[in-house]
Amino acid sequence: MKDFFINFFTLSEPLSITFVLVYLILCFWLNRLAYTISFAKRMTLALFLGVILGVLAQYLANFPANSKEVLWLEQTRIWYSFVVNIFISLLKLMIVPIVFFGISSSLLKLEGGVKISSILSRSIFWLLITTAIASAIGLSLGVIFNLGSDVVVQTSKTIKEARTLSSILLGLMPNNIIDSFANNNILGVILVAFLFTLGARKIGTKEENKEIFSTYKNLVIFINKIIMNVITNIIQLMPYAVVAMIANVLIANGVAAMKEAGLFIILTYASGILMIVVFSIILAFHGLSPMVYYKKAFEVLLLAFTSRSSAGVLPITIRTLHTKLGVSENNANFVAGLGATIGMSGCAGYYVGLVAAFIMHSAGLSIDLSSAVLIIIITLVGSLSIAGIPGISIVAASIMITGLGLGDKFYLLGVIFAIDPIIDMVRTMSNVNGAMIAAIATDSELKTLNKDEYKDLNNERD
């Protein structure tokens, strides 16, 4: 009978059952608090509860190097992962609909005087320039602290194959609509939405098609409203998911994993903090208060931090931009969607810069000005291939290593594999932060940002 509970329910040990029950009790408590405290406060509380659960579990298990070494700890991790995967799946379920119908409805409502080329050029500029700055920050910190110079690597882990420039560019061009939608290829979905909507607008200018076009337009706009309502309901589950997310990360990786590459972790988080300063400067440059922005964006950034999926939180990112920060619906959908594929100041920015410093120092190579410029250029090329899902940043790192001519040094990346989920948290937060800043900057420059709504700390449109 015990084997049945172990193999089927994966819940047979008293401690694993206890931790699952404790989680359920905490969820019930958070649900009751919904009547007395704000959503943001419950999110913060959920973050601390997750840390307490994770550290307590590790302590009771005597801080094992691998959670699989302790049966009850692994069972707890499996059930916490179950909760996390359900929540992330709900978010990912809405990615394609919100991008396709969001962009379509926005383009259908565009006035004739708005130039799509202006939106595209400005959004790509801000996404790439912030990625370049992030790469320079990561590389600089890596050089200053001589990252990787004292590391002795012993690993049998394999690294994903590097991609050539041509394969990256070909990968950006979808050749199958069904595949693009089925695989959450955001860039492909954006392209299809553009082609369909621009085609509809062109056909709709003809007199005999105006009535049909109006019906199509209203239908798309109505479906988009339905999707946003569904997203609003999913958002209410965030506090319960955050507890499981944080606890799961600590249980799965443990304190030992965090110590193994402590300097890399510290520099990654330092880079994330410095990027917050950079983003604040960009907001101030556009005459906007960084304090107001971070107060309103806190919930999104916290979810990005805990979920490690910029694509997964995309629906909430878009909703926050439009309903809280005064960004026009068109730019909120388009720029945020583009930012989940192109740029990414965390995964393709300072992380790759730190990896470059780590690899070159580990290989006994020095970094001069010319190699630094090359690293930043390769970073921008690699940033075009990033998809907003956990762990994909290793592809950008492999592109960097190949571009530097150090393909035979791939094995050196093994030292950071163990702590990748931990550093991926701040990377993902920076990715989402950069996409939101790009959307706000683009909207501000196009004179479509509602600055009164941006400043209003109590606003939230439906």
Render pLDDT for 216-256 as a digit per residue (tens, 0 to 9): 999 998 998 888 788 778 878 888 888 888 788 778 766 65
Q: Has residue 410 got a pLDDT over 80?
A: no
Q: Does 176 or 127 have the greater pLDDT score?
A: 127
Residue 34 carries which side chain, given as an amino acid letter? A
Is residue 156 scored above 50 in pLDDT? no
Site of tokens 């009978």:
1
Cα(107)–Cα(110) distance, rounded to whole angstroms?
A: 5
**Residue 454 CB contacts under 8 Å (≥ 6 apart), including other chains:** 288, 292, 293, 325, 326, 440
What pLDDT score was predicted for residue 154? 42
* Superfamily for domain range 115-236+255-462: Sodium:dicarboxylate symporter (1.10.3860.10)
Q: Helix, strand, coil proportions of the chain in percent (round to 5)? A: 75, 0, 25
Identity at 95, one-letter amino acid code? I
Q: Return the closest-CA partner of residue 389 out of 307, 276, 271.
A: 307
What type of residue is 7? N
CA 319 to chain CA mean position, Å: 15
What span, in angstroms and rounded, lies between the C-alpha atoms of 171 and 396? 14
**pLDDT per residue as tens digits for the range 167-176:** 555 655 677 7
How far apart are alpha carbons 320 and 303 in whole angstroms? Answer: 12
Token code pair at residue 181 = 């939608």
Cα–Cα dist 276/434, whole Å: 9
d(CA 261, CA 36): 42
Q: What is the predicted pLDDT for the residue at 23?
A: 94
Bigger pLDDT: 176 or 163?
176
Q: Single out the residue of 87, 69, 68 nearest to residue 78, CA to CA.
A: 68
Can you tell me the distance from the alpha carbon of 459 to that of 462, in angstroms, rounded to the nearest whole number? 10
pTM: 0.67
Q: Looking at the predicted structure, is the pLDDT value of residue 208 above 70? A: yes
> What SS3 state is found at 177?
helix
Lookup: tokens for 367? 């970094």
